[in-house]
Structure 1
Amino acid sequence: MNVRLSARQHIPTAAVLALILCVMGLQACQSSGQTARATQLDTLTSPEPDAQRQRAMRRLALASAYFEQNQSEAALQEARASLQIDPAYAQAFSLIGLIHQRANSPALAQSSFEQALQLAVQVPAIPADLAEVQHNYGWFLCQQDRFDAGQAQLMQALSQPGYRQVAKSWMALGLCQLRAGDKPQARRSFDAALLLEPENPVARYQLAVLDWQNGDAKRAQSTLTALNSSAQASAQSLWLGIQLARALSQPQDQARLAQQLNQFFPNSTQALALAQGKFQDQ
């Protein structure tokens, strides 16, 4: 006996193919979306380092601690020990570059930074780690008066996703632009640094200096007051504050800042200038 399908039971072949293609297409879209999200996540996060890199990181952390304590020889030994564990560790070469830079050995520093950059861009590159290398290399180039190349490296550091030291790089870029004589661009960079890090003492001080040089003592004082009221006040910032108070005919503020300068920085060149009355009147 022949059994015929009813209209509800019968599904045309074309419809079946369309349904299959639709499902396959939906799966492909989901897979593509998941891949895109995973790729985006990879650019914003650092993968878990393997055991070799973890051991190298521990030695480099020790090297960094020595470097911060101005123990350059010990820092260099630990950084080299880190590379013996992991020869492809870009951050170790970058720190060695900083050590040679501090030791006034620009050729050795240049070589180390170039090696660090070469390793940092290799696949799979970690943008945040690459940014740190670019920042260090860029600042080195600026100190060598290679302003265009230095600014290019710093701008590349700022463009890396997931980079957490953005304010530091804006500050360094501003200092580089200032050394190059580009005060308008330097101001924009210092403003960017201060927007991200309102307590940044370097950016705040440099902005106040630029205002003072432009003859705007009131604005300079407004920018500087927060710094001189904090624990980050320096001999330079207090001295500038004294000169601004003097220019604005504020004897009480001038005396208060002078007391701070003499109390906290009695042996500074600024305290000596104060004692000798060597003010820089505009």
Structure 2
Amino acid sequence: MKIMAVLSVMILMLSACGQNPSRRSDNLQSDLAQPAENSPEMINVRLGVGYYERGDIDTALDKLRKAIKLNPKLAIAHSVLAVVYGSINAQTDARRHYQLSVKYAPNDPIILNNYGSYLCQQGEFKQAITYYERIISNPFYKNTETAHENAGVCLMGDDRYQEAEQHFREALKINPRMPTSLYNMVIIKAGQREHLKARAFLQRLESLVQLDEKMLTIAYQVETKLGAKDSADAYRLRLKKANN
């Protein structure tokens, strides 16, 4: 299971480009007047994403640069271009376009989340958290569970487990069925030797996804600590099969 909950290009595009901006229903205030979905610049952004997903980086870059040439202040184009540059380790260009995306859409949660995820991947944890907090504090954005979850993951990377737990709990309060938050709560509670709580989060996680080797190992350890020999043996057998 993937722990780092970063915003994928596809999700970003579904959120920002797949809808008519004049009819978005996520209670956001637009930073700038957005171009129509069928405008040349938005068509080029979507084409850029499509080529990127097919692995044609050169053509993706060409389409995204064309979008920005048509509309230099189109934040979503800068954000997607930054993702593409980051994928080829062109970090100077990636950072520049992330910063431009935030400059042109300083209140857009998609843009802020994407940049926060990038900063977290670069190990700039404290700065990344500030972008997640800007999303969470936006009164016009109600779906903050992803920002809470991503903040929690980032804080885990910085060994700030207590703060991470607060964000995961907030995410699960909004949406109880968030595997990444549940996964990390298992890790936190097992690490704190709160085995009953770790078991409860494990059970919730297992109702949603198949446990990976790390979770099976923790599950075996938790059940062993709780003296539940049959359950521990069952997890041990599943772990043995997973390793074969």
Query: What RMSD over aligned residues (CA atoms) do the two structures have, in Å?
Result: 3.1
Partner of 1:112: 97
Q: CA deviation at 1:113?
A: 0.5
Partner of 2:55: 71
Q: CA deviation at 1:77?
A: 4.1
Matched, 1:61 2:46: yes
Partner of 1:222: 200
| Equivalences, count | 218
Partner of 1:235: 213
Measure the CA separation in 2 of the matches of 1:75 and 1:238: 40
Query: Under a length normalisation based on structure 1, what TM-score does the superposition of the two structures give?
Result: 0.65
Structure 2, unmatched stretches of 5+, are 1-24
Is the Cα–Cα contact under 8 Å of residues 228 and 238 in structure 1 kept in the other structure?
A: no
Query: Under a length normalisation based on structure 2, what TM-score does the superposition of the two structures give?
Result: 0.74
Amino acid at match of 1:144: Q
Is the Cα–Cα contact under 8 Å of residues 228 and 237 in structure 1 kept in the other structure?
A: no
Partner of 1:163: 141
Q: CA deviation at 1:147?
A: 2.3
Partner of 2:80: 95
Write out aligned runs for 1:121-132 (5 A). Answer: 121=106, 127=107, 130-132=108-110
Measure the CA separation in 2 of the matches of 1:155 and 1:48: 24
Matched, 1:250 2:228: yes
Q: Which structure has the higher relative contact order (CA within 8 Å, separation 6+)?
A: 2
- Higher helix fraction: Structure 1 or Structure 2? 1
Q: 1:183 to 1:84 in 2, by over 3 A?
A: same
Matched-pair identity in %: 21
Structure 1, unmatched stretches of 5+, are 1-40, 122-126, 273-282
Matched, 1:141 2:126: no
Is the Cα–Cα contact under 8 Å of residues 139 and 172 in structure 1 kept in the other structure?
A: yes
Q: CA deviation at 1:111?
A: 0.8
1:163 partner SS: coil
Measure the CA separation in 2 of the matches of 1:213 and 1:234: 18
Is the Cα–Cα contact under 8 Å of residues 26 and 142 in structure 2 kept in the other structure?
A: no
Please identify the structure whose Cα radius of gyration is greater: 1
Q: CA deviation at 1:255?
A: 4.2
Partner of 2:175: 197
Q: CA deviation at 1:209?
A: 0.6
Amino acid at match of 1:173: A
Amino acid at match of 1:71: G
